[in-house]
Homo-oligomer: A and B are copies of this chain.
Amino acid sequence: MGTTARLIYDESESNSDLYYLSGFLAGDPFLYLEIEGETRLYLSDLEVDRGRSTSSVDQVERLQAVVEAIKDADPDLAPANAGKTSSVLRRIAHDHGIDGFEVPGSFPVGLADTLRGLGVGVRWLQGSFAPARLLKTPEEVEHIRTAIQHTQAAMQAAIDQIARATIRGDTLYDGAEPLTAEAVKRTIHSTLLERECFGPLPIVAGGEQAVDPHDRGSGPLPANRPIILDIFPRHMPSRYHGDMTRTVVRGKATDEVKRMHKAVFDAKAAAEALVRDEAQGQAIHKAVQAVFDDAGFETGEKDGRMVGFFHGTGHGLGLDIHEAPRIAKGEATLRAGHVVTIEPGLYYPGLGGVRIEDDVLVTATGCDNLCDFDQERLEV
């Protein structure tokens, strides 16, 4: 009767569980195993030195040593077969008396089925291999706070640039040229860059573009209409994220847009008032919806597109820009130590889009807003 080992095979630039568990950052897939409480990496010769000096695992092994052992045991084997990940894993299973691997649900089915075909068990587990990652340590909260400070600097620079624009007709101008979303994004990027942050896809969307919450925005920015600024960079030294949204109008907002902005502000406050250890994400999301319904801002499909409030209220934030828990229609329980965004919004063709977003730390009795940036100012 053999033992069971946990196994992840992935790259760690996008798989944050793997980065969290291994402390090793690599853009190409590598093997992470937990065998009887001991954590190990198997790395190519190109990576093994860096793995030994930077990773947090107990053992860093040369992948090539396993491949050599396979070749030694079966000199007739084609070299390409000896080097296959499935062959390597079968050999590791043999050497360590492992009769099955436990893998995350995201494990590649091709490798899983191949191992099964070789007589090596593969069982996938629900949920994350690194659930502790969602409960931020004080050090992790500081990393997020730092990322947020840089996000706020970029937000301020973007708003300042919009506030400096002149108005001609329906359009904002920077001197003789229209002020474009691209120009504001350049300001955001360069501010982030000076601060070792990368957020390649910020949203600077005005007018009708902002009605689609995932339109990132392009071209000349409108006067007298809401412009959504959503900035969510990773601070590269720590790899943690900030995520903030503000909505501004350069010029005069209509009364209806002012009412939208007020409703979004109120909905956000209502959500934050409910955030605490053991709060239900669903209940918070419903509270946001209720504020909008009570203020007369209806949600639903109109002329073939969604209008009103039709995205989640928030999501966990950390090494991933989107992680558990989700504050939305589905079930999720908040825990002290979670960091979540709170980001209600309203979107109507003709009026435009309004969204306000901060990041909060869930505590035993409520939440700490990690952001410190004016939410009420609409006209700039």
Chain A positions near chain B (C-beta within 8 angstroms): 14, 26-28, 45-50, 79-80, 83, 103-113, 122, 124, 126, 186, 189-190, 193-194, 198, 200, 212-215, 236, 305-306, 310-311, 321-322, 329-331
Contacts and interface: CB of A to CB of B under 8 A. Distances in A.
A374 B194 CA distance: 30
B27 A215 contact: no
B124 A109 contact: yes
Contacts of A213: 46
Interface centre among A26, A104, A105, A331 (most CB of B within 10 A): A105
Nearest to A15: B14
B83 A330 contact: yes
A192 to B, nearest CB: 9
Nearest to A78: B331
Given A27-B322, A109-B113, 15 more contacts: A14-B14, A46-B310, A47-B214, A49-B305, A50-B215, A80-B331, A105-B111, A106-B108, A107-B110, A108-B108, A110-B124, A186-B194, A189-B193, A190-B193, A198-B198
A107 B104 contact: no
B107 A108 contact: yes
Contacts of A124: 109-110, 113
Contacts of A214: 26, 46-47, 50
